[in-house]
Amino acid sequence: MSAEMKPVLEGITVLADDVPTLAKFYREALGMEPTVEQAHYVAFSGNALRFAIFSRAGMGPHTNDHPDYRRPFSGQAFELNFQCADAGEVAARFAHICAYGGTAVAAPKEMAWAHFTGFFADPEGNIHSLFADLSRV
């Protein structure tokens, strides 16, 4: 295999028990635009990266019925980071997310690494962050 041949990260798929509810959250709370909407799969357009939600149960047939897709999910497995223009946008978007079904985990505040960051959970409990890079403002 050539050293020049590297796989390219094309997308991220979040597995969900309730695809319609999670898709509605990402559409309404974060303004993501769906490009594919099916009962058990929704994909959103992005900045060269596809973000999708797929039913946990639906993954079984694609993975030789791997038992992990039948077990209830527990714990944090990934974090999405959403960058905002400034601290004011972080605060406003954080409030908007919480109004549309997100759960506040840690209110936005200035962090030691020069970010203004807040953490929220989506309706399936996945914890994500909103941030503004204060060193660029």
Per-residue pLDDT of 80-98, as tens digits, reads 999 999 999 999 999 999 9
Q: Does a structural domain hold residue 67?
A: no
Q: Does a structural domain hold residue 18?
A: yes
> For a pLDDT cut of 90, what percent of the chain falls above it?
69
Domain that holds residue 100: 79-137
Asked whether residue 128 falls in the same domain as residue 83, the answer is yes
Number of domains present in the structure of the chain = 2
Model confidence, pTM: 0.84
Domain holding 103: CATH number? 3.10.180.10
Give dist(CA 128, CA 65) in Å, integer.
29
Contacts of 40 (CB under 8 A, 6+ apart): 19, 54, 55, 57, 58
Domain holding 20: CATH number? 3.30.720.120
Q: Does a structural domain hold residue 101?
A: yes
**What is the chain's mean pLDDT, rounded?**
91
Among residues 69, 78, 71, the alpha carbon closest in space to that of 121 is found at 78
Q: Does a structural domain hold residue 11?
A: yes
Write out the chain's pLDDT in tens, 137 residues.
556 777 777 889 999 999 999 999 999 999 999 999 999 999 998 778 889 999 988 888 888 888 888 888 777 878 999 999 999 999 999 999 999 999 999 999 999 999 999 999 999 999 999 999 999 76
